[in-house]
Amino acid sequence: MNEERLWEELGPEGFERVVAAFYRRVKTDDLIGPMYPQDDWKGAERRLAGFLKFRIGMDQAYLNERGHPRLRARHMPYEIGEAERDRWLQLMGEALDEEEVAGEARAELDAFFAQVADFMRNR
């Protein structure tokens, strides 16, 4: 993944907008929506956006707040099989469509999300 180019293209605000569009969908999703903390959507949004800004833009705020991501361990409490993985990716795809992330940036993000989402499978 070419992090530098992605960061130039989306910037911190771009990632924040994509994550906001994603959680707008997650909130009402019948399959994965109920897994999320119903009283802390703003926090969930902040954690995912923070992680992406850390992973792609080297922004250290996530690391300072949450420590090392340990994403697989942090997803263990949730039952994630193929259906949940596919739904997550579907909603993220719709969010990227809404924000009109296209071209190479889109191809790179699609591949990145697909890889991480599959790694989160624990059932």
Judge contact between 75 and 122, C-beta under 8 A. Answer: yes
Judge contact between 27 and 33, C-beta under 8 A. Answer: yes
- As measured in angstroms, the least distance from the Cβ of 76 to ligand HEM is 11
Indicate which single residue of 7, 75, 91, 109 sits in contact with ligand HEM (rule: CB under 6 A): 75
Verify binding: residue 23, ligand HEM, rule CB under 6 A: no
Q: How far separated are the first and last CA of the chain, in Å rounded?
A: 27
Judge contact between 52 and 66, C-beta under 8 A. Answer: no
Indicate which single residue of 18, 19, 32, 56 sits in contact with ligand HEM (rule: CB under 6 A): 32
- As measured in angstroms, the least distance from the Cβ of 8 to ligand HEM is 20
Verify binding: residue 36, ligand HEM, rule CB under 6 A: yes
